[in-house]
């Protein structure tokens, strides 16, 4: 089961990836998470990516494509993966096509997370992310989280913070970059078999059951 998630920032791709990963053991390939990990480890890729990400701009295609090529060729991806956050530009879409062909892989399902700009802005600005396991919650949910809950990746509770690019100043820029550079590639995938437009304004559980139903038919 190889899945591609398309959609604007804040549309719930990361949340659904985690739910599918937990239930079906798929490998979650999030380029954003990979870059944040590289930044935390101060690697060369991380250093290259940081200034672009902080400004809400895209990291240059060559850097992202190299990263995905390395990751997708890994043995763990053979049993199924979810691509989340790649491709985001036309050259990336072309590179993915070639890469999949060379690895003798195919995308079984392509989900487009559709959501209005108003909801995106409010979701992104109130989003908090765990530094260790990348779990995402809203400011409202944060208040109600039981203190006994522990992080999936570290000892003790999750360590939630606001990503620099989720600040009110950067959110508008990210949505603009998405509309200019990523929205145009949706048209290309729309014509592909396995494409489904999903209403991403429903609850995480409701979106998840739409995905599961589609995956069962695929
Ligand atoms: P979101 O989906 O919430 O926008 P991500 O965590 O997927 O956030 O990505 C955060 C940032 O990482 C992007 O704004 C961009 O700077 C960089 N990035 C991630 N994926 C790509 C990509 N495929 N191409 C270029 N930049 C990327």
- Among 44, 47, 57, 42, smallest CA distance to 9 is for 57
As a whole number, mean pLDDT of residues 117-130 equals 94
Q: How confident is the model at residue 148 (pLDDT cuts 50, 70, 90)?
A: confident
How many residues are there in the chain?
218
Burial tier of 5 (Cβ tally within 10 Å: 0-12, 13-18, 19+)? buried
As a whole number, mean pLDDT of residues 109-130 equals 95
Nearest ligand 1 atom to the CA of 165 is 14
Q: Which of 88, 123, 128, 135 is catalytic?
A: 88
Q: Is residue 43 one of the residues assigned to a domain?
A: no
Q: Give me the helices (H) in 84-138, please.
A: 90-102, 117-125
Query: Residue 126's domain spans which residues?
Result: 2-26+79-217
Q: What is the CATH number of the domain that holds 99?
A: 3.40.50.300
Residue 218: pLDDT over 90: no
Q: How confident is the model at residue 207 (pLDDT cuts 50, 70, 90)?
A: very high
Q: Is residue 60 one of the residues assigned to a domain?
A: no
Span 5-33, pLDDT tens digits: 999 999 999 999 999 999 999 999 999 99
Span 35-60, pLDDT tens digits: 999 999 999 999 999 999 999 999 99
Q: Is residue 63 one of the residues assigned to a domain?
A: no
135 part of the active site: no
Q: How confident is the model at residue 156 (pLDDT cuts 50, 70, 90)?
A: very high
Q: Whose CA is nearest to atom 4 of ligand 1?
A: 9
- Among 64, 48, 45, 81, smallest CA distance to 182 is for 64
Span 171-203, pLDDT tens digits: 999 999 999 999 999 999 999 999 999 999 999
Which pLDDT value is given to residue 149? 87
Split into its structural domains, the chain has a count of 1
Q: Is residue 146 one of the residues assigned to a domain?
A: yes
69 part of the active site: no
Q: Whose CA is nearest to atom 2 of ligand 1?
A: 9
Q: How confident is the model at residue 147 (pLDDT cuts 50, 70, 90)?
A: confident
Distance between Cα 186 and ligand 1 center (Å): 16
Q: Is 59 in the pocket of ligand 1 (CB under 6 A)?
A: yes
Per the CB < 8 A criterion, the answer to whether 160 and 142 are in contact is yes
Euclidean distance between the first and the last CA atom of the chain, given in angstroms as a whole number:
9
Q: Whose CA is nearest to atom 15 of ligand 1?
A: 58
Q: Is residue 61 one of the residues assigned to a domain?
A: no
As a whole number, mean pLDDT of residues 81-97 equals 98
Q: Is residue 35 one of the residues assigned to a domain?
A: no
Q: Is residue 118 one of the residues assigned to a domain?
A: yes
Per the CB < 8 A criterion, the answer to whether 128 and 136 are in contact is yes
Q: Is residue 31 one of the residues assigned to a domain?
A: no
Q: How far is CA 75 from CA 3, 26, 28, 35, 66, in A?
A: 17, 12, 14, 21, 17
């Amino acid at each position: 089961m190889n899945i591609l998630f398309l959609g604007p920032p804040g549309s719930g791709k990361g949340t659904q990836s985690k739910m599918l990963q937990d239930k079906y053991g798929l490998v979650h390939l999030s380029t954003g998470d990979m870059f944040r990990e590289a930044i935390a480890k101060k690697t060369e890729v991380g250093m290259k990516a940081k200034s672009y990400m902080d400004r809400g701009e895209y990291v240059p295609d060559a850097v992202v494509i190299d990263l995905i090529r390395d990751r997708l060729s890994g043995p763990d991806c053979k049993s199924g993966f979810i691509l989340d956050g790649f491709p985001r530009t036309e050259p990336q879409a072309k590179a993915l096509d070639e890469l999949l062909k060379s690895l003798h892989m195919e995308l079984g399902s392509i989900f487009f997370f559709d959501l209005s700009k108003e909801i995106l802005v409010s979701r992104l600005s109130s989003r908090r992310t765990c530094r260790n396991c990348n779990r995402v919650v809203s400011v409202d949910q944060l208040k109600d989280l039981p203190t006994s809950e522990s992080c999936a990746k570290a000892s003790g509770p999750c360590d939630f913070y606001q990503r620099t690019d989720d600040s009110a100043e950067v959110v508008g820029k990210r949505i603009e970059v998405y509309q200019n550079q990523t929205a145009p590639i949706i048209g290309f995938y729309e014509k592909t078999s396995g494409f489904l437009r999903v209403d991403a304004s429903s609850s995480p559980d409701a979106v998840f059951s739409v995905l599961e139903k589609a995956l069962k038919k695929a």
